[in-house]
Amino acid sequence: MSWNPFKKAFSPRRNRGEDAEFDSEMSKLHQEYTTTKKMYKEMKRCNEAQNALSKVRGKLGNELNSNVLSRHEPLKATVDQVNSSLSQLHKLNKDLISNQEKMFIDPLKRFCAMYGHVESQMKRREQKLQEYERQQSKLEKMEKLSPPPAKIDATQRAVTASKTEYENVHQRLMEEMPKLHHGRLSYYTPCLKSAIQSQQLYYFQCARVLEETLSHMDPIPVDEQELLQETNQLMDSFRKISIVGHQHSPTNN
């Protein structure tokens, strides 16, 4: 549904000043609908990114498994531990995506669907207004021709009836639109809270999985300078290997 109440036609017979309050409420709902739709679409993109991350992790695990050296100790134990953690992270990722779908995306979709009812009532209001104006215009033309009083009375009753119908629909909208607008907070808050809690649980469980994985591996330096020094020492040891350290210089012709 592409909800845009501003496409409604305004009659030149109307005084726009009288509709300022209605237009203001309608503008709020239109902005609210647009924002809500963007919110659940952005969360869908977050889920797509989480799914892509999980796939990349899976490829990393496959690459580790395909390495011949990973099939033998001591690397095999490390690779097995890493693959176990990747498998757990994949499951946690699926749970996160599912939770955000059920607790954020789906509820906001249902909230957006409520605007379809508001739009139908706005169209009904416009139809009633046009009918009222048509009857009013008919009466004005009739009065200039001096028809029988009974005919004027019948038209006057039609004007009154159409005006009453229009005012009833208009009044209901003016009562319901502010309620929908102000009620958005009590709807948004649980969705946002559940999304944050799901992510908090996800990252907490991921940290626990990674900590468990690290506990089965050799300790690494915590200090940044110490880690850099150890990395440089390791690279130096690699460079001393003959097949790495000795490079052939290009010959000059």
Decide if 114 contacts 177 (C-beta within 8 A).
no
222 lies in some domain: no
46 lies in some domain: yes
56 lies in some domain: yes
CA distance 48 to 54: 10
- CB environment 207-240: b (16+ within 10 A), e (fewer): eebeeebeeeeeeeeeeeeeeeeeeeeeeeeeee
85: helix, coil or strand? Answer: helix
166 lies in some domain: yes
73 φ, ψ (degrees, to nearest 5): -70, 150
Per-residue pLDDT of the chain (253 residues), as tens digits, is: 455 554 454 444 455 556 788 888 888 999 999 999 999 999 999 999 999 999 999 998 888 877 766 677 777 888 888 889 999 999 999 999 999 999 999 999 999 888 888 889 989 999 999 999 999 998 888 888 877 888 888 989 999 999 999 999 999 999 899 988 888 888 899 999 999 999 999 999 999 999 998 888 766 556 667 777 878 887 888 777 766 555 554 555 4
Name the residue range of residue 66's domain.
Answer: 22-217
Predicted TM-score (pTM) of the model is 0.71
| Domain at 156, CATH number | 1.20.1270.60
229 lies in some domain: no
98 lies in some domain: yes
Question: How many structural domains compose the chain?
Answer: 1
Query: Which is nearest to 92 in space by CA: 208, 193, 216?
Result: 208
Decide if 180 contacts 29 (C-beta within 8 A).
yes
User: How many residues in total does the chain contain?
Assistant: 253
